[in-house]
Structure 1
Amino acid sequence: MRYTFLLLVLFIVTSCAPIRVDYDYEKTTNFETYKTYNYYGDIKSGLSDLDTKRLFRALDEGLEARGYTLSETPDFFIDIKSVEFQQQRQNNVGVGVGGTGRNVGGGISIGLPIGQSQLGREIVFEFVDENKTGLFWQAISESNYKPNATPEKREAQFKAIVEKVLEGFPPEQK
């Protein structure tokens, strides 16, 4: 019973892929001067038009919750790029055959991949101040991507990505 429970917990933990985010920013930037934003008009997000709208909605909600306002004359612009990629299989099972005898020994081992490869999506968020510093903040997120997901699940995924991305904006400056 205990062994089954541990296997179930292990399966749940490995099946829920986290959203990973890396941040980078210009250390000399005064983030308190930024209150308004807008998107570049020629964004080639790499997403479908519907997914781009979902991502913009989620980002608007997240920035608005942090006190930023969408404006025609913004303090900074946002550029978004994304790329789809095939994730490497992480699960393998080793099968071994060996023999021992008086003076004879040997063995063979092969790794068999388990499960299917998954699609991943990397989304790059860049905040750019065209008047002062240029690119001043960047976040790169990686997460699983399911092309056949329902619109509701896609929207929830984009909200989760944006929430994780905006955890690092504005950065704590010392």
Structure 2
Amino acid sequence: MKKTILTSVLAIIIMATMTSCSSVQVVADYDKQVNFDTYKTFAFYKPGIDKAEINDLDKRRILRAIENELIAKGFTKSENPDLLVSIIASSREKIDIYNNYYGGYGAGWGWNPYYYGNYNNISTSTEGSLYIDLIDARKKELVWQGQGVGYLNESNMEQKEERIKEFVTKIMEVYPPGSTKK
């Protein structure tokens, strides 16, 4: 009975840990010589987006989220843009193995045959990475890149769309460089 309770508690702790890892870790890099205030318009860079190795539905979700974020920042979508937007997306399966040994107790440090065991728990999760590249349209040079890494939840379409929005929002929070919104 104790073994079953301990196993259940351990499984709950592991599940809680996995779901608490839902935040997106973000880093950004940029050209310090660029004046980002001069960029007012954008368009999507089709050759770069076509290379992204994700399905077209997820591409459209990501692009809509980026478009919404840029418009909220005061940008305008244009046929003659200042910035070209490209994406790179990838995912990988992570396997975590938890080996938990618990031993019995008896007289002093003796052996107790009713409370002894080894509990292994194997869990898998999908970790995704999304890069958003902003390219100076005139110079055709990368001027800013934001990367978000986090766990993906693909249990249903609504959760998937919300997770994509969260990735894009977190990445775009650090654009333009020096912005204080966190």
Superposition TM-score, scaled by structure 2 size:
0.74
What is the aligned counterpart of 2:53 among 27, 43, 46? 46
Question: How many Å separate the matches in 2 of 1:76 and 1:50?
Answer: 24
1:88 is displaced (CA, Å) by: 4.3
1:70 is displaced (CA, Å) by: 1.0
Question: How many Å separate the matches in 1 of 2:173 and 2:45?
Answer: 22
RMSD between superposed Cα atoms in Å: 2.8
The corresponding residue for 2:39 is 34
Question: How many Å separate the matches in 1 of 2:178 and 2:23?
Answer: 23
1:93 is displaced (CA, Å) by: 3.4
What is the aligned counterpart of 1:117 among 124, 135, 151? 124
Amino acid at match of 2:25: R
The corresponding residue for 1:82 is 89
What is the aligned counterpart of 1:151 among 148, 157, 160? 157
Mapped pair 1:168 → 2:151: no
1:66 is displaced (CA, Å) by: 0.7
Instruction: Please give the residue correspondences for 1:98-113 in structure 2 after superposition, counting only pairs within 5 Å.
Output: 113=120
Segment of structure 1 superposing worse, 127-136 or 149-158: 127-136
Normalized per residue, which structure has more helix?
2
Against the structure 1 CA distance between its residues 112 and 69, is the aligned structure 2 distance closer, same or farther, given a 3 Å change threshold?
farther
Against the structure 1 CA distance between its residues 118 and 13, is the aligned structure 2 distance closer, same or farther, given a 3 Å change threshold?
closer
For structure 2, the residue ranges without an aligned partner over 5 or more in a row are 1-10, 105-117
The corresponding residue for 2:112 is none
Amino acid at match of 1:151: M
Question: How many Å separate the matches in 2 of 1:113 and 1:23?
Answer: 38
Name the SS for the 2:171 alignment partner: helix
Number of paired residues? 155
